[in-house]
Amino acid sequence: MDAASRWCLERDIGAVLRLPLDLPLVRGSDIDELLSIECTAPGAVIVPSRDGTGTNALLRTPPTLFPSHFGPGSFAKHCGEARRSGACLLVRRSPRLEMDIDDESDLRALATHDLGGTETGRWLHGSDVLARLQKPWTESQLTASA
């Protein structure tokens, strides 16, 4: 899981930024902003997930400062690892980076954002996903999901 971080360290690359693939709102400017943060070694910049339990961006210097974790609880694990390693820890909030897609509630939250000009928006509008999310649930669907 951290093979790329080790590869970077072996080649004298000073930092690594890890982003999960399910960030539909991320823009190049969001990445540029993270990379412009002054974070001297040992240091870490972390962006939590929307619910505050996951990690949606992790910048580490050096790249192998501590191991990567994924899923619920990863934000707390990364913060703990950073503190134990003696790193300078910076937590940044970013609505676009915090928006990830793990379940239906995330899709509903995504639908409230301006998706114009994005591939995600084109796909959601071209499929029936948004239409299905906007339909009220019937009594039988509510009972079946319980």
Q: Which tens digit of pLDDT belongs to each residue from 96-123?
A: 999 999 888 898 899 888 888 888 888 8
- Give per-residue pLDDT as tens, 12-21: 999 999 999 9
- Give per-residue pLDDT as tens, 35-53: 999 888 999 999 999 999 9
In order of 101, 112, 118, the CA distances from 55 in angstroms are 13, 22, 23
**Shared-domain flag, residues 89 and 47:** yes
Residue 108 lies in a domain: no
Residue 120, domain extent: 114-145
Residue 105 lies in a domain: no
Which CATH number belongs to the domain containing residue 7 in this structure? 3.90.550.10
SS3 130: helix
Residue 9 lies in a domain: yes
Q: Look at the chain and report how many structural domains it folds into.
A: 2
Question: By C-alpha distance, which of 119, 90, 107, 91 is closest to 26?
Answer: 119
Residue 131 lies in a domain: yes
**Shared-domain flag, residues 121 and 78:** no
Distance between CA atoms of 82 and 86, rounded to whole angstroms? Answer: 6
Distance between CA atoms of 17 and 110, rounded to whole angstroms? Answer: 24
Distance between CA atoms of 79 and 85, rounded to whole angstroms? Answer: 10
Q: Flag whether pLDDT at 5 surpasses 70.
A: yes
Residue 34 lies in a domain: yes
Question: Quick one: DSSP state of residue 37?
Answer: S
Lowest mean pLDDT among 6-10, 26-30, 123-127, 131-135: 131-135
**Shared-domain flag, residues 122 and 94:** no
